[in-house]
Structure 1
Amino acid sequence: MSLEEESDTERASNLLRQAMTIIKDLRPGFDLIKLKYKAPPNFNIPKSHLQCFGESVYCSGEDMLGKCNAGGSALERLGAVVGWSISTTRPLIFGAFPYNPILGETHHVSRGTLNVLLEQVSHHPPVAALHATDETHNIEMIWCHYLSPKYRGTSVETEMCGKRELKLLNHGETYVMNCPSLVFKFIPTKAFEWSGKVKIQCIETALTAEISYKGLSFLGRKSNSRAVNGSIFAQSFSIKNLCHIDGQWDRSVTMKYHNGNAKVIYDANEVISNLKTPVVVDPKGVKATESAKVWGEVSQGILSKDWKKAKKAKMAVEERQRELAKERESRKETWVPKHFKLSYSKENGWDCSPIQSTVPPAPIVVPI
Structure 2
Amino acid sequence: MSEPKTPTAIPAGDTYKGWVFKWTNYIKGYQRRWFVLSNGLLSYYRTQAEMGHTCRGTINLATATITVDDACNFVISNGGAQTYHLKASCEVERQRWITALELAKAKAARMQAESDDSGDDFPPSSVPVAHGQGGGSQNSEVQSALRTLGSKVEDLSTCNDLISKHGSALQRSLSELDSLRLTGEAGDKIRQVTERATLFRITSNAMINACRDFLSLAQAHSKRWQKALQAEREQRVRLEETLEQLAKQHNHLERAFRGAAQANASAENKSAVGPVKGEASDEDDDNEFFDAMEEAPEFITVPADPQFHKSEPLVMNQESPSQELVPLKKRRTRIPDKPNYSLNLWSIMKNCIGKELSKIPMPVNFNEPISMLQRLSEDLEYHELLDKAAKCQSSLEQMCYVAAFSVSSYSTTVYRTGKPFNPLLGETYELDRQRESGYRSLCEQVSHHPPAAAHHVISDRGWTLRQEITVASKFRGKYLSIMPLGTIHAVFEKSNNHYTWKKVTTTVHNIIVGKLWIDQSGEIDVVNHTTGDRCHLKFAPYSYFSRDVARKVTGVVMDKDGKAHYVLSGTWDEKMEFSRVMQSSRGGENGTEGKQKTVYQTLKAREVWRRNPLPEGAETMYYFTALALTLNEPEEGIAPTDSRRRPDQRLMEEGRWEEANAEKQRLEEKQRSARREREKEAASAPHDNYQALWFERREDPITGEQVHIYRGGYWEAKDRGSWEGCPNIF
Q: How would you bin the TM-score normalised by the shorter chain?
A: 0.7 to 0.9
Q: CA deviation at 1:361?
A: 9.7
Structure 1 residue 352 and structure 2 residue 672: aligned? no
Q: CA deviation at 1:304?
A: 3.5
Distance 1:138 1:94 in 2: 32
Please say which of residues 14-23 and 326-335 is displaced more in the overlay. Answer: 14-23
- Over 3 Å counting, the alpha-carbon distance change for 1:63 and 1:158 in structure 2 is same
Match 2:643 to one of 291, 305, 308? 291
In the alignment, what sits opposite 1:114?
Answer: 439
Normalised by the size of structure 2, how large is the TM-score? 0.43
8 Å CA contact 2:404, 2:609 repeated in 1: yes
Structure 1 residue 123 and structure 2 residue 448: aligned? yes
- Over 3 Å counting, the alpha-carbon distance change for 1:317 and 1:91 in structure 2 is same
Per-residue Cα deviation, 1:3-29 (whole angstroms, up to 9, x for no partner): 9543xxx55xx2245334432xx4xxx
The residue type equivalent to 1:140 in the other structure is: T
In the alignment, what sits opposite 1:86?
Answer: 407
In the alignment, what sits opposite 1:196?
Answer: 522
Distance 2:356 2:446 in 1: 17
Structure 1 residue 269 and structure 2 residue 612: aligned? yes
Q: CA deviation at 1:282?
A: 6.4
- After TM superposition, the structure 1 = structure 2 runs for residues 197-346 of structure 1, keeping only pairs within 5 Å, are 197-217=523-543, 219=544, 223-236=548-561, 240-259=563-582, 260-269=603-612, 274-275=626-627, 277-278=630-631, 283=636, 285-293=637-645, 295=646, 297-332=647-682, 334-342=689-697
8 Å CA contact 1:132, 1:358 repeated in 2: no
- Over 3 Å counting, the alpha-carbon distance change for 1:280 and 1:230 in structure 2 is closer
Please say which of residues 62-71 and 37-46 is displaced more in the overlay. Answer: 62-71
Distance 1:123 1:86 in 2: 27
Structure 1 residue 74 and structure 2 residue 401: aligned? no
Distance 1:101 1:353 in 2: 18
Q: Which has the larger radius of gyration?
A: 2
Distance 1:153 1:19 in 2: 8
8 Å CA contact 2:387, 2:462 repeated in 1: no
* SS in structure 2 of the partner of residue 229 of structure 1: strand
Structure 1 residue 63 and structure 2 residue 415: aligned? no
Q: CA deviation at 1:81?
A: 0.5
The residue type equivalent to 2:643 in the other structure is: S
8 Å CA contact 1:165, 1:174 repeated in 2: yes
Please say which of residues 332-341 and 350-359 is displaced more in the overlay. Answer: 350-359
Please say which of residues 173-182 and 33-42 is displaced more in the overlay. Answer: 33-42
- Over 3 Å counting, the alpha-carbon distance change for 1:357 and 1:171 in structure 2 is farther
Q: CA deviation at 1:281?
A: 8.9
In the alignment, what sits opposite 2:504?
Answer: 180
Q: CA deviation at 1:274?
A: 4.7
Distance 1:235 1:73 in 2: 14
* SS in structure 2 of the partner of residue 115 of structure 1: strand
Please say which of residues 87-96 and 48-57 is displaced more in the overlay. Answer: 87-96
* SS in structure 2 of the partner of residue 288 of structure 1: coil
The residue type equivalent to 1:168 in the other structure is: F
Higher relative contact order (CA 8 A, sep 6+): 1
8 Å CA contact 1:87, 1:266 repeated in 2: yes
Distance 1:349 1:302 in 2: 37
Where does structure 2 lack aligned partners over 5 or more consecutive residues?
A: 1-337, 583-602, 616-624, 684-688, 720-730
Q: CA deviation at 1:147?
A: 1.1
The residue type equivalent to 1:317 in the other structure is: L
* SS in structure 1 of the partner of residue 404 of structure 2: helix
8 Å CA contact 1:342, 1:352 repeated in 2: yes
Distance 1:362 1:114 in 2: 16
8 Å CA contact 1:131, 1:359 repeated in 2: no
The residue type equivalent to 1:110 in the other structure is: D
Q: CA deviation at 1:49?
A: 0.7
Match 2:471 to one of 134, 137, 147? 147
8 Å CA contact 2:556, 2:566 repeated in 1: yes
- The structure in which a higher percent of residues are helix is 2
- After TM superposition, the structure 1 = structure 2 runs for residues 47-62 of structure 1, keeping only pairs within 5 Å, are 47-57=370-380, 59-60=381-382
- Over 3 Å counting, the alpha-carbon distance change for 1:290 and 1:281 in structure 2 is closer
Structure 1 residue 162 and structure 2 residue 486: aligned? yes
- Over 3 Å counting, the alpha-carbon distance change for 1:155 and 1:280 in structure 2 is closer
In the alignment, what sits opposite 2:229?
Answer: none
Question: Cα RMSD between the aligned structures?
Answer: 3.1
Please say which of residues 266-275 and 81-90 is displaced more in the overlay. Answer: 266-275
Per-residue Cα deviation, 1:71-113 (whole angstroms, up to 9, x for no partner): 2311111111111111212225464111100111111121123
- Over 3 Å counting, the alpha-carbon distance change for 1:277 and 1:35 in structure 2 is closer
8 Å CA contact 2:575, 2:607 repeated in 1: yes
Please say which of residues 268-277 and 99-108 is displaced more in the overlay. Answer: 268-277
Query: Kindly, what percent of the aligned residue pairs are identical?
Result: 22
Aligned residues: 339
Distance 1:150 1:241 in 2: 37
The residue type equivalent to 1:43 in the other structure is: F
- Over 3 Å counting, the alpha-carbon distance change for 1:81 and 1:305 in structure 2 is same
Distance 1:222 1:94 in 2: 26
In the alignment, what sits opposite 1:97?
Answer: 419
* SS in structure 2 of the partner of residue 258 of structure 1: strand
Distance 1:342 1:65 in 2: 26
Where does structure 1 lack aligned partners over 5 or more consecutive residues?
A: 27-31, 364-368
* SS in structure 2 of the partner of residue 286 of structure 1: coil
Distance 1:20 1:208 in 2: 43
- The structure in which a higher percent of residues are strand is 1
Per-residue Cα deviation, 1:159-206 (whole angstroms, up to 9, x for no partner): 111011000011111001111111122378642111110110002122
